[in-house]
Amino acid sequence: MSASERRYAPPAVAVSAVAFALGAPEGAELGDADADAGEALEGTLWLPLVRRTREPFAGVWALPGGPIPWDETLAESAERTLRATVGRSPGYLEQLYAFGDVERSGRGQRLVTIAYWALYGENDLAAQAEFPAEVENIAWFSADRLPELAFDHADIVEYALWRMRMKTEYAAVAHRFLGGTFTLAQLRRVHEAILGTEVDPANFRRQALAQGHLVDTGEVETGTRHRPAKLYRFREN
């Protein structure tokens, strides 16, 4: 097909994935702004991006994604793409939205992308990495210091952040990030990262305990120089 034939062809379909973690994995390449800053932004969400090697948007960072093979469901394609980018499967994966604006892929073949959002918790990132092939052109960026993104991927990231913030089941999201037991300070930092703003520790402590979702495990944090803090877990169901 010539370029002008592609322009009037029916849309093709692909997946893209926005994967959030509370920090970049050990040893991961960091985006320039994050590497230059010389300090990890621990209170923010991080996500992996892939630098495009082909037109359109060659050299520009984009969300992990690609075409859907004939024998994969949409979610399987999204998960495989994330495994190839992060080296591990996410702890949580959910369909976000189908993006299909007419001009979103420039003047070439029109592309509808089914976007997914995913969470990588501490346990997910601690798993042994399995990179199937080369990992060049992959880096992690803090959500506060994203580079220019290809296509409408900046809109997709914005929408994924909004969806996560609107999630009523905060406890479930926090749970995915934290694993089994956690201190109230750790739980508060997850909320701050998701909301993108600071939360008053005393207010947070009072509200978190009042909601009845938390169970005191009777254990305390170890290996810290501070006064040991109580460890909590989420109540079943």
Query: Under the rule (CB under 8 A), what is the footprint of its own copies?
Result: 7-13, 67-74, 95, 97-98, 100-102, 110, 112, 114
What's the closest the beta carbon of residue 65 comes to its own copies, in angstroms? 14
Nearer to its own copies, 30 or 112 (CB): 112
Minimum distance from residue 74 beta carbon to its own copies (Å) = 4
Element (H, E) at 217: strand 214-220
Name the burial class of residue 113, with classes exposed (0-12), middle (13-18) and buried (19+) by CB atoms within 10 angstroms of its CB. buried
Amino acid at 4: S
Find the shortest distance in angstroms from Cβ 209 to its own copies: 26
Whichever of 18 and 187 has its CB closer to its own copies, that residue is: 18
Nearer to its own copies, 78 or 146 (CB): 78
Please state, in angstroms and as integers, the Cα–Cα distance from residue 223 to each residue in 24, 123, 218, 227, following that order: 22, 19, 17, 10
Contact yes or no for 74/114 (Cβ under 8 A): yes
Residue 142 belongs to what H/E stretch? Answer: strand 138-142
CB-wise, 109 or 123, nearer to its own copies? 109
- Min dist. Cβ of residue 130 to its own copies (A): 24
